[in-house]
Amino acid sequence: MDMFGKETTKESANKSKNGSVLPASTTHALNSLVQGTMVEGSVHCKTDFRVDGNIKGKLFCDAKVIIGPTGFVEGEIRCQNAVIEGKFEGVIQVAELLNIRESAAVSGDVTTNKLIVQSGAVFNVACTMGEGKSVLSGSGFKKESNPSSSSSNAGKVAEAK
């Protein structure tokens, strides 16, 4: 508002019908699938995605995927970074850091550059690690060279050299 109580153009453009100011869009927006919600199929997103419900299918994310304590994903995930507190079964490809928390149960195939597995987590996977081994390209990964296999120590950061 200006000093006479009149709305400026920028403010009036951000007001909804009920008079509340709408939040400005940010580059770090978070998509969320709440507990009790089930999605079957493919999900593609450019910003962070949090799963507290269930996904059966594919999740392709250009940012971070968070599977909360009540979340369950069965299928395939391709993302930049991931934090798993709930359950995952399938194939996960993480370009940078995969963080498995103590409450997590993960099984399947894992490809990542860096890995943290906290003590208490269930981590039954075939794991492939290495810097530059997997590259996120648009909606998928492509292999660049023959990756090395690695297993992690609980509570430590494992990084292929």
Residue 142: predicted pLDDT? 43
The answer to whether residue 159 is domain-embedded is no
The answer to whether residue 38 is domain-embedded is yes
Is the pLDDT confidence value at 144 over 60? no
Is the pLDDT confidence value at 24 over 60? no
The answer to whether residue 19 is domain-embedded is no
What does the pLDDT look like over 86-123, one tens digit per residue? Answer: 999 999 999 999 999 999 999 999 999 999 999 999 99
Is the pLDDT confidence value at 155 over 90? no
Residue 30: predicted pLDDT? 87
Residue 29: predicted pLDDT? 80
Which structural domain, as residue segments, surrounds residue 117? Answer: 30-145
What does the pLDDT look like over 35-51, one tens digit per residue? Answer: 999 999 999 999 999 99
Residue 130: predicted pLDDT? 85
Provide the domain count of the chain. Answer: 1
What does the pLDDT look like over 63-94, one tens digit per residue? Answer: 999 999 999 999 999 999 999 999 999 999 99
The answer to whether residue 156 is domain-embedded is no
The answer to whether residue 119 is domain-embedded is yes
The answer to whether residue 12 is domain-embedded is no
For 85, residues 6+ apart whose C-beta sits below 8 A from its C-beta are: 66, 67, 68, 69, 71, 101, 103, 104
The answer to whether residue 102 is domain-embedded is yes
The answer to whether residue 20 is domain-embedded is no
Report residue 78 CA to chain centroid gap: 8
